[in-house]
């Protein structure tokens, strides 16, 4: 193995999963480097959870292969399991066991030695602020605390790679911010984090993201680069008749996509100099435009524009 390969935490090759006649994952090729915080970003049903299960070797792919810390998911599942931590969407906690019993149980399953336990328990309970709630039943914790307990359990064996499947679903914004603070701390310890999310604001916190839609990765890059290189020029207009304006604009030539945010529209256009023509058409049509500016697209805009373009492509192709 050369040095570039040992630097790779996750690598997939034409990974594919089919359920009946539903293709859940379409030939995935992906590489995540050690120490990265990689975000798998896409709407519900895009195939995020399936990819998580394939990479954590609890589901067998239909074809293709993937290597986690250098071990194949096809026949080295057990070696992988020693090296990864995984937190499923529902945190995988026993609600009728206490915080401490949950952590101890996972420590038992991972075979953490009695000597190492006190220090690890203290550290995990400490960073998750769960120390005062050690004896509380997991079922009586708030959503944010459950999430942190789930994370603590997934970290009990100090894994090299951490897989988090939509960890912030159903968690309040303050706890979400806390959670991300913990993740950044973990990155400092050289842990690779592979996270899936449907929230695009969270995706912007990742070091690199892959946009996924209908089981296929549309693009992977740093969040800022994705916005940049996608280079979709975008204008934002404010109008009281946003709804009608949106319908009208989307029929115009050179418009890639239109998103509505209250009384504002984000219009993705093919070339920057089309902006003037679009504004003119709107005005001639009689829409009153209250504000107009060129903007840097948010990840959400990019995502929707990309999905739209891909769908157009498939229709034409």
Partner 1 sequence: MFERIRHLIIKEFIQAFRDNRTVFLLFVTPLIQLFLFGYVATFDVNSISTAFYDLDRSYESRELARRLESSGYFAIKYRPESQQEIQDLVDRGHVLCAIQINRGFAKDLKRGTPTQIQVIVDGTDSNTAMIAMGYVNTVIAGYGKERMNSLIRAKLSKIEFRTRVWYNPDLKSRNYMVPGVIAVIIMLTCLLVTSMSVVRERELGTMEQIMVTPIRPIELMLGKTIPSAIIGFFDMSLVTVVGVFWFDVPIKGAFLFLFLCTAVYLLPILGIGLFISTISKTQQQAIMATFFFFQPSILLSGFATPIENMPDIFQYVTYLNPLRYFLVIVRGIFLKGVGINVLWPEVLALFVLGVTILILSALRFKKRMT
Residues near partner 1 (CB under 8 A) are 53, 56-60, 78, 81-82, 84-97, 101, 105-106, 108-111, 153
Q: Given phi > 0 = left and psi -120 to 50 = alpha, else beta, which region is 7? A: alpha
Read off the tokens for 171: 């968690």
List alpha helices for 189-241, DSSP H: 200-203, 223-230
Nearer to partner 1, 86 or 127 (CB): 86
User: What angle in degrees, to the nearest 10, is found between the helix axes of 223-230 and 299-316?
Assistant: 50
Nearest to partner 1 of 170, 276 (CB atom): 170
Q: Look up residue 118 and give its two tokens.
A: 């006190």
Shortest distance, position 132 Cβ to partner 1, whole Å = 21
> Quick one: 186 or 235, whose CB is closer to partner 1?
186
Distance in angstroms (rounded) separating the CA atoms of residues 48 and 171: 19
Q: Which CB atom, from 94 or from 199, has the smaller least distance to partner 1?
A: 94
Nearest distance in Å: CB 68, partner 1: 11
Least distance to partner 1, CB of residue 103, Å: 12
Tokens of 111: 């075979």
Q: How far is the CB of 168 from partner 1 (least distance, A)?
A: 16
Q: Closest Cα partner for 166 from 126, 124, 202?
A: 202
By beta-carbon proximity to partner 1, the closer residue of 35 and 77 is 77
Q: Taking the complex as a whole, how short is the minimal distance between the CB of residue 210 and partner 1, in angstroms?
A: 21
How far apart (Å, rounded) are the C-alpha atoms in residues 220 and 223?
A: 9
């Amino acid at each position: 193995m050369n040095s570039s390969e040992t630097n790779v935490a996750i690598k997939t090759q034409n990974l594919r999963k089919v359920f009946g006649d539903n293709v859940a994952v379409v030939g995935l090729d992906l590489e995540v480097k050690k120490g990265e915080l990689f975000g798998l970003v896409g709407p519900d049903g895009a195939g995020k959870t399936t990819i998580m299960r394939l990479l954590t070797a609890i589901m067998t792919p239909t074809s293709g292969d993937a290597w986690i810390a250098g071990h194949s998911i096809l026949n080295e599942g057990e070696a992988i399991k020693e090296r990864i931590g995984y937190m499923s969407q529902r945190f995988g906690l026993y609600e009728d066991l206490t915080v401490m019993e949950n952590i101890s149980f996972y420590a038992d399953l991972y075979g953490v030695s009695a000597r190492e336990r006190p220090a690890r328990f203290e550290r995990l309970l400490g960073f998750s602020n769960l120390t005062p709630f050690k004896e509380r039943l997991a079922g009586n914790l708030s959503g944010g605390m459950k999430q942190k307990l789930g994370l603590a359990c997934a970290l009990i064996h100090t894994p090299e790679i951490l897989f988090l499947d939509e960890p912030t679903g159903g968690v309040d914004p303050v706890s979400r911010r806390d959670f991300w603070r913990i993740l950044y701390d973990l990155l400092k310890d050289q842990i690779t984090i592979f996270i899936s999310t449907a929230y695009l604001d969270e995706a912007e916190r990742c070091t690199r993201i892959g946009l996924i839609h209908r089981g296929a990765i549309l693009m992977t890059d740093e969040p800022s680069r994705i916005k940049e290189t996608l280079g979709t020029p975008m204008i934002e207009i404010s109008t009281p008749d946003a709804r009608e304006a949106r319908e009208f604009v989307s029929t115009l030539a050179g418009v890639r996509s239109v998103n509505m945010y209250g009384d504002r529209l984000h219009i993705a256009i093919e070339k920057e100099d089309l902006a003037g023509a679009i504004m003119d058409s709107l005005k001639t049509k009689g829409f009153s435009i209250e504000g107009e500016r060129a903007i840097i697209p948010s990840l959400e805009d990019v995502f929707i524009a990309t999905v739209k373009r891909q769908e157009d492509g498939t229709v034409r192709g």
